Amino acid sequence: MKAFFVHLCLGMSLVCASAEISQAECGNGSSKIDDANRKFSVVVPKSAGLGEQSYDDIGCAVASRNGECATRQGMFDSGALTWDYATGEQLPVEKAYFVIKTDVKTPQSYGVVGFKDKAAAEKFSSEHGKGKVVKWFELVDEKLK
């Protein structure tokens, strides 16, 4: 079954050519993430159909993910991990709450911050600009920058 999935994904990647992403500052998913900036980052461990990826800014991860076909977006969504801004705890992006449009300086200036707890995200949002709290699938639909 795994071989079938890999074959299907490879075939789909030929059909679903990636959209052009204008994100020169973001790199190609191989950012070096230092401990001080880990709270703003996303990593995607190596899996069938996707190589290991790391983004030093959550906004860069969103831009890269959105440039993929639907099959690869699904693999990205189910495998990507971020860190809770308050505790440093790692969690799947699909379970995190993200604060967007903050006054926080992130490595590539997207200003997106992730949290495990919705109440903590809402408190942070009220303290840092005119932020908005969203889940992952709302975040990927937002116009960032």
pTM above 0.85, yes or no: no
Residue 144 lies in a domain: no
Q: Is the pLDDT of residue 143 over 60?
A: yes
Residue 6 lies in a domain: no
With beta carbons less than 8 A apart as the criterion, state whether 13 and 72 touch.
Answer: yes
Residue 67 lies in a domain: yes
Q: Is the pLDDT of residue 21 over 50?
A: no
Residue 130 lies in a domain: yes
Residue 132 lies in a domain: yes
Ranges 7-11, 36-40, 57-61, 108-112: which has the least confidence:
7-11
Residue 18 lies in a domain: no
> Quick one: which of 116, 113, 135, 137 has its CA closest to 125?
113
Residue 82 lies in a domain: yes
pLDDT at 48: 66
With beta carbons less than 8 A apart as the criterion, state whether 106 and 112 touch.
Answer: yes
Q: How many domains does the chain have?
A: 1
pLDDT at 41: 95
- Tell me the C-alpha distance between 33 and 42, whole Å: 9
Range(s) of the domain holding residue 105: 26-139
